[in-house]
A and B are shown apart, each in its own frame.
Chain A
Amino acid sequence: MKPIVRVENLSKEYHLGERGAAYGSLRETITDAVRAPLKSLRRSNGNAKSNTIWALRDVSFDVLPGEIVGIIGRNGAGKSTLLKVLSRITEPTSGRAELYGRIASLLEVGTGFHPELTGRENIFLNGAILGMARAEIERKFDEIVAFAEIEKFIDTPVKRYSSGMYVRLAFAVAAHLNPEILVVDEVLAVGDAQFQKKCLDKMQSAGEQGRTVLFVSHNMPAVTRLCERTILLEEGRILADGPSREVVGTYLRSGLGTTALREWRDLEKAPGDDVVRLRSVRVHTEDGRTTDAVDIRCPVGIDIEFEVLRSGWVLVPNYHFVNEEGLYAFVASDKDPEWRRRPRPIGSYVTTAWIPGNFLSEGTLIVGAAVTTMDPVLTHFFERDAVAFQVIDSLDGDSARGDYGGPIPGVVRPMLGWTTQFEPRAFEADATHDGETTE
C-alpha cells in the first residue's frame, strides 16, 4: 500500500544562545552588522556551531493510510518538533515530508479560544482556526455541544467556564475535525478520566474510518492501547520503530521513561491540592533497595510519601497498576487498620503497599499513585505514570511458569496451590487389552 505520509531525512536545527532563540532588537542587528567581519572569523572557529541544536536529525519513516502511530520519547527528544514540522508550523532545515491527504494538527486544545467570547462563538472561531469550513461547523454544531456536555452554558463567555468545561468544549471541537491525517500532541493529558476515555474512543473510531493519526504522548498505556505502531525518538533520531508493545517496552527498559523513584522537590508544584501534596513514589525490594527491575518471585514494595497540609480529612492512598499494553491490572487502596476512617493530622506520611512475590506477570508495570477521600469521593491527586518497574520471570523452574520457556499471556501470574489426587490402577495391562478387543 502507498504511504499517506512519507518523511525523508527530515532535520531541524535550532539556534540557541542570546541571539536567535530570543527576538533581537534593531540595535543588536546594527552592531552585529558592524562587527560582521569579526563574527565570521569566530564562526570559522566552530564557535557558532555549539550554539545550535538538532531537534530532528535525518528522521525518515512512512505511514500507511489508517495507521495510528504513537510517537514517544523523553522531553526534548524531538517529538513536538516533528509534529510542528509536519503540521507546517515551522519549517525543516533540510529533508522533506510529503503528505497525501489533508492534515489537521492538534498541538493544544482550545487554540485561539477567546475568554470573552461565548462557547457558541468560540466553537466557530476555533473550528475556523483548525481549518473547518463554516458550513461544516454549522452542521456539526449540535454534535459538538452534546459531546462537550455544555448545552446549558453555550451562550456563557468561556472565561466563566470551569477548567473541565473549557477543556471538554475545546476537545469536542477538535474531535469533530475530519482530516485524513490527524496530528495530536499530548492533549489527552488534560480533563477528567471519564472524558479522556471518551476522547480516546473518538480517536480510535477515527482510525477505524481510515484516518491516519500521529499521536505524541507520555501516557504509555494510551499509546499501547491506541497505536499498533510506535516510533521512539531520542535526541532527534529514531531509536526504534515497530509494534507498540515492543517499542514501549524498549523505552521503559532503557530507563528513558519513567523510573523507580519520582520525587517532587517543590511542594508548590507537586501534584495535589490544599489538603495533601505528593512528595515521592518509590519502588523497592524487601531489603529497601530502590529498583526498577524485580524478580517475579520476590515481594515488591511501593512507597508513597505525601504531606498533609490541612487536618481533618480521611485520606486513602491508592495505587493503579497498568501493564504496557494499557490494560488495568488492578487497583489497590490503603488497608492499614490504624488509619481507617481516621482523619489525618498535619504532617508527613509514608505509606507502603506490598505486592507478594509470585503474583505479578512478567513485563512492565506502570504505577499510578493517588490520594482519595471516600465520603464524598474526592481525588486530591492522581499521578498517572508516577513510577514503573519491570517484573522479570525466573527460568529456574521454581516460578509459576514452571519449565515452560515461551511467552505467557495474562496480567497476573500467581503461584497457585496445586494438588493432585492419584489412584493407581491395579490392572493396567487389562485396560489396554480391553481397548484392543473392541477393535
Chain B
Amino acid sequence: MTNASDLPSVHQNNDADAGSTPPKADEALPGESMVLPEEPIVTIEASKSWVSLQLRDLWNYRELLYFLTWRDVKVRYKQTALGVAWAIIQPLFTMLIFTLFFCKLAGIEAQTGGIPYPIFAYAGLLPWMFFSNAVTSSGNSLVGSAHLITKVYFPRMMIPGSAVAAGLIDFAIAFVILVFLMFYYGVAPAWTALMLPVLVMLTVVLALGMGMWLSALNVKYRDVRFALPFLLQLWMFVSPLIYPSSFVPEKYRWLLMLNPLTGIIEGYRSSLFGKPFNWTALGVSTLIGLLLLIYSSYSFKRMERSFADIV
C-alpha cells in the first residue's frame, strides 16, 4: 500500500497507468520537507483514441469495491420484512412452480438422468438467478449512481463490479438451500463438486461482461432499462433451465450450445450430481465469457469519459 513516506518513489508516468494512485495518505508532509516527484502522479488530458484498462488503478481502489458491495448487500434488505429470506424465496418458489407445471410435462423427468426434478431445477436456477439478478442490477447500477459519478473520481468499473459481487452473497445463501434439498432427496454430492468454484467464476465472468457493457450503454441509451427484463426473459427460455439440453432434438442442440449459459448450467448439474461434463459446451461458455469480458471492458473504458457529462 502506498503511503506518504514512499510517495516520491511511486511515480507511474506511463500513460497506461496515469492517475492510478488513489488519494490515501498517512500524515501530511510538512511543507519544507515535501519532495515532489519528478514525473506527475496524475496527468489529465483528453484521452487518445485507444484506451487502456488501467488495471493498476482498479487494484488500488480494491477496498472501494469491498465497501460498495458491502453497502449494496446491507441496504438491499433493509426495511424489508423478510430481509435476507428473499434470497431464498426467489429460487425456491420458482423451483416449486417449475416442478408443479413442467415436471411431468413431455417426459422431462425421464431425461434428468435419475435426478429428482426439484433438485434438477434448483441446481439450474442457482446460476441463472445469480446471472439474471447480477446483470439486471449492474446494468442499472451506473445510472443509479449518477450522484457519485458527477461528484467524485474512482474507477467507474467498481460500480457494475460491486453489483455483481453483491449478487454472490445471495447466491451463497441460496446455495445453502440446495445442500438441504440434496440431503432431503438423498442425493449425495459427487467429488466433481470441486469444479463448482471454477463454474462460479465462469458465471461471474459472463455476468460481469454483460452487466458492465449494459451499464455503460444504459448511461447513453435509457432503452436498456426496458429492454433488459425482456431480454433476460427470452434468454431464460433458451437456456436449459426447465429442461435438460438432451430435451432438444439432436439436430438443433448446437444452437443451444451457442448460448454461453448452456455450458454453465449443465456444468453445475454435472459437477453437483457427478455426471459427465459437456466439455464442448463449457469451452464455448468460457470462450464467449472471456471475449465478452474483454470487449465490454474496453467498450466501458471508451464510454467512461462521457459518463459524468451525460448521466
Contacts and interface: CB of A to CB of B under 8 A. Distances in A.
B37 to A, nearest CB: 6
A89 B44 contact: no
Nearest to B65: A128
Contacts of A65: 31, 34, 36
A180 B43 contact: no
A131 B24 contact: yes
Contacts of A103: 23, 42
Contacts of B234: none
A104 B309 contact: no
B152 A125 contact: no
A178 B219 CA distance: 32
Given A111-B152, A129-B154, A95 B45 contact: yes
Q: How large is the interface on B (under 10, 10 to 19, 20 to 34, 35 or more residues)?
A: 35 or more
Interface string A113-143: 0101100010011001111111110000000
Contact of B152 (A21, A26, A130): A130
Nearest to B143: A23
A208 B28 CA distance: 10
A117 B71 contact: yes
Contact of A98 (B40, B147, B310): B40
B308 A116 contact: no
Given A23-B220, A87-B152, A89-B152, A101 B36 contact: yes
Interface string A67-102: 000000000000000001111111111111111111
A211 B221 contact: no
Contacts of A116: 74-75, 78-79
A368 B179 CA distance: 69
Residue from the set B7, B21, B37, B151 with the largest chain A CB neighbour count within 10 Å: B151
B152 A128 contact: no
A131 B308 CA distance: 18
Nearest to A139: B26
B246 interface: no
Interface in A147-182: 177-180
Given A24-B221, A129-B154, A210-B31, A91 B305 contact: yes
A97 B154 CA distance: 18
A80 B72 CA distance: 30
A129 B149 CA distance: 11
Interface string B19-40: 1011111111111101011001
B64 interface: yes
B75 A102 contact: no
B222 A66 contact: no
A347 interface: no
A148 to B, nearest CB: 19
The 4 A-B pairs with the shortest beta carbon distances in the complex, nearest first, are A210-B31, A98-B40, A178-B25, A179-B23
30 contacts: A4-B36, A14-B309, A20-B310, A23-B219, A23-B221, A23-B222, A25-B222, A27-B223, A65-B31, A84-B150, A89-B308, A91-B44, A97-B43, A98-B43, A103-B23, A105-B152, A112-B147, A129-B64, A129-B148, A130-B23, A131-B23, A131-B24, A134-B67, A178-B4, A179-B23, A180-B28, A209-B29, A209-B30, A210-B29, A210-B30
Given A105-B153, A111-B151, A206-B28, 6 more contacts: A88-B153, A91-B305, A111-B152, A129-B154, A130-B23, A133-B1
